[in-house]
Amino acid sequence: MGADSEVRVAVLIPCHNEEKTVARVVSDFRGVLPEAKICVFDNASTDKTSEVARASGASVFHVPRKGKGNVVAAMFANVEADVYVMVDGDATYDAKAAPEAVKRLIEKRLDLVNIARRYVASDISRPGHRWGNRVFHHIVRRFFGQPPGDMLSGFKVFSRRFVKTFASFSTGFEIETEILIHTLELGLPWEEISAPYYARPEGSESKLNTFQDGGRIFKFILGLYKLEHPLGFFVAIGAVFAVTSLGLGIPLVAEYLQTGLVPRFPTAFLAASLMIIAAICGTIGLILDTVTSGRREFKRLIYLQYPSPGTRGKVAMGGQEGG
């Protein structure tokens, strides 16, 4: 890596029952990043993933709580490096893209390089997965800003300051979405490159359920929108109550002006109550928006305490290897 040869790189491979592919992934990334430390995180596998990974020369860590989000939290907490390459252990991503992504991250002082999947055949990905990726892309763009084209790619490169300041909430496959929303919300520098994406080897099965995990991702995006943009979230709810209140109350006001009577008092009470609720929603949004702004500023200050990629020398590769 030339002038940046002192930068330490760690390859993080989350795995659940990937005994058929993990050795190939370890070998491929050792071939393109020979000085990197290869770390396999076994997420409650019931096959020989750990044994195969250890025999391939990787450091093996065990994460008993199921879910990719839990694995990513463990990876970021237990490995020390300057640059982190995260890739799924299913042997579908092209390892040859890693050196270019690492180089770009360092030279441009980026915090994230997302490697978009370039499908080598049209029948590799299920139609539901591609459709869901497009839907989530539009939702995130509407709520948070322009995200990478392939939001759900499992192949990413991170800076140390990203990894050590990223406090995740997700436990499952929502983690890729949370990573990108975190990047957009803090205004972190990122780029996207593409690389070939291959079919899973025979006997290897995807752990992603199109509808179940898709529903969880959608719910998670809405939850993050409420957390990061509470004013817009609660004002939208309040607007529904306000419009309903006006729809019920305007005819009553018109009738009162004509006759001086309020013939439907329960409806008037309901309309007034709904408008009060709308005002409360707006007030909650304003208060939480102030809290969110302070929290975002604090996160930014913590982030700025870490140097950008390529501006520091070697650091220890910590973390206790699993048994």
In this predicted model, what pLDDT tens digit does every residue of 159-185 receive, in sequence order?
999 999 998 888 887 888 899 889 988
pLDDT, position 87: 96
Give this prediction's pTM: 0.77
Alpha-carbon gap, residue 227 to 230, rounded angstroms: 6
**Residue 204 clears pLDDT 90, i.e. is over it:** no
pLDDT, position 115: 95
Residue 211 — pLDDT band, cuts 50, 70, 90? low
CA 204 to chain CA mean position, Å: 24
207 and 255 belong to one structural domain: no
pLDDT, position 177: 87
Residue 144 — pLDDT band, cuts 50, 70, 90? confident
pLDDT, position 315: 37
259 and 214 belong to one structural domain: no
| Residue 319 lies inside a defined structural domain of this protein | no
pLDDT, position 236: 94
Tokens of 47: 């096959």
241 and 144 belong to one structural domain: no
**Residue 136 clears pLDDT 80, i.e. is over it:** no
Return mean pLDDT, the chain: 85
Residue 253 — pLDDT band, cuts 50, 70, 90? confident
Contacts of 171 (CB under 8 A, 6+ apart): 65, 67, 69, 70
32 and 109 belong to one structural domain: yes
Tally of domains in the chain: 2
Question: By CB neighbour count within 10 A (0-12 exposed, 13-18 middle, 19+ buried), where does 136 fall?
Answer: buried
Domain extent, residue 270, equals 230-303
| pLDDT tens profile 17-58 | 999 999 999 999 999 999 999 999 999 899 999 999 999 999
Alpha-carbon gap, residue 141 to 146, rounded angstroms: 5
